[in-house]
Amino acid sequence: MDGVIESDVKMEGNARTKSVGAYSDVLLRVLGLVLTMIAAVIVGMDNQSKIISLKITDILPPVQITVNAKWQYMSAFVYFLVSNAIACMYAATSLIFSMKEKNNIKNNMALLALIILDLLIMGLLFSANGAAAAIGVIGLKGNSHAQWRKVCDVFGTYCHRMTAAIVMSLLGSFVFLLLVVLSVLNLQRKSK
């Protein structure tokens, strides 16, 4: 009789842990979706035009020219936007799958595919963050050795928005890292 009660308590505990795990998984996927969507939208909408005065000779008055900053102008930012858009779409698709299939213990291959895809998206986001941040540093500080001058003194608003997008995307990539850790923890719990 004691054995039956003990077994019931253990099963109840397992079911509770499983539901907490599934709840965290869904929550993290929603968070990943929101963060990468915000990052992609910020970059996609980020453009700034500015009128600057250019003095060509001492005799003539300075010429007013309009300069633009757009994400399309820099391949690293294109890669950043595309990566975040892919991560966002993947988060939405995997969220539906996760809600439907995660508790189906028989579907081991699908679960494995989900972990590998989480890993690949994490790698994609980390590389995109690295690329955007590297260009951001040059934009902010310039590089005297390569004679690449800073642009953030002219395009301040553009640079601030891009920084916000990189922070969002960085948080998003850590969300995907946590998703993999969560899956590993679940597997380890099952293997005991």
Q: Which is nearer to a second copy, 4 or 17 (CB)?
A: 17
Q: How many residues line the site for a second copy (CB under 8 A)? A: 50
Q: Which is nearer to a second copy, 20 or 187 (CB)?
A: 187
- Segment (H or E) for 102: none
CA distances 87 to 17, 33, 45, 169, 172, Å, are 28, 7, 18, 10, 9
Residue 138 contacts a second copy per CB under 8 A: yes
180 CB-near residues (< 8 Å, 6+ apart): 115, 118, 119, 122
Residue 78 contacts a second copy per CB under 8 A: no
Residue 190 contacts a second copy per CB under 8 A: yes
Q: How far is the CB of 167 from a second copy (least distance, A)?
A: 14
The CA-based angle 175-177-181, given to 5 degrees, is 115
Contact flags string 91-130 toward a second copy, x per CB under 8 A: -----------------x--xx--xx--xx-xxx-xxxxx
Among 65, 73, 110, 157, binds a second copy (CB under 8 A): 73
Sole window of 12-20, 28-36, 57-65, 70-78 interacting with a second copy (rule: CB under 8 A): 70-78
Residue 188 contacts a second copy per CB under 8 A: yes
Q: Give the amino acid at 57.
A: T
Query: CA-to-CA distance for 97 and 57, rounded, in angstroms?
Result: 65
Q: How many CB atoms neighbour CB 16 within 10 A? A: 10
Residue 149 contacts a second copy per CB under 8 A: yes
Ranges within 2-41 binding a second copy (CB under 8 A): none
Q: Are 158 and 48 in contact (CB under 8 A)?
A: yes
Q: How many CB atoms neighbour CB 67 within 10 A? A: 13
40 CB-near residues (< 8 Å, 6+ apart): 81, 84, 85, 88, 165
Unique residue bearing structure tokens 């963060």: 35
Q: Which is nearer to a second copy, 3 or 166 (CB)?
A: 166
| Interface contacts to a second copy, rule CB under 8 A | 68-70, 73-76, 79, 108, 111-112, 115-116, 119-120, 122-124, 126-135, 137-139, 143, 145-149, 151, 173, 177, 180-181, 183-185, 187-188, 190-192
